[in-house]
Amino acid sequence: MLTRKQHELICFIADRLADTGVSPSFEEMKEALDLKSKSGVHRLISALEERQFIRRLPNRARALEVLRMPERPVAKKPRPAAAIVTPATTPPPQPANDVIEIPLHGRIAAGVPIEALEGAQMLPVPAALLGSGEHYALEVSGDSMVEAGILDGDYALIRRQEDAREGDIVVALIDEHDATLKYYRREGAMIRLDPANRSYDPQRYAPDQVRVQGKLAGLLRRY
């Protein structure tokens, strides 16, 4: 038997998932249940988890799944009589806009190469922007890739890999020190890293100077 607040919360979560495919935020749950703080929401969520009505989806921000709906109705204030709730015959849809957190490893040059910084920050990214494999993010610095639609301040979403095909946009580590985001091409025995800006010249290196660290998988942009 659920408490009135537990019943209200699971119904609110289920309705939001059915309408939008995305779990409500803790702030939205607090306001919907007229609670004074988010700690009350955490306690209700934990209680519903313990009773196996919901579960939290790992590595996804704001992602909840309703496992089952309560079979017995709970009275709502100020009405003394309980409203009839029909048990769900099918589970609610999975969240459509899942968010995954990936490592954010500092800034990368899209102009003159700069040192690639390692950091401990995480960046939330819509799962739809990522494919299979392991990913990380880098903040773009510079304008040499503007003609490819990559602007200063964008977040480049990178799939980790050590190989590249002709024409791929890659993160290239040069002399084990500087990293840059460029088109990858071969020119005879050399590796050529091409910008996407007519104001910049291609960069040419011996193969042992260049190590591919990943391929561009997507972009995030702040407005």
**Annotated catalytic residue, options 5, 144, 199, 215:** 144
Calculate ∠ Cα 65-70-73, nearest 5°.
140
> In degrees, to the nearest 5, what angle opens at C-alpha 192 toward C-alphas 130 and 187?
120
77 assigned to active site: no
**C-alpha to C-alpha distances, 120 to 104, 158, 205, nearest whole angstrom:** 7, 16, 31
Given the residues 30, 182, 199, 215, select the one marked as catalytic.
Answer: 182
Residue 182 annotated to the active site: yes
3-class DSSP assignment, residue 98: coil
* CA–CA gap between residue 202 and residue 98 (Å, rounded): 39
Active-site positions read: 144, 182
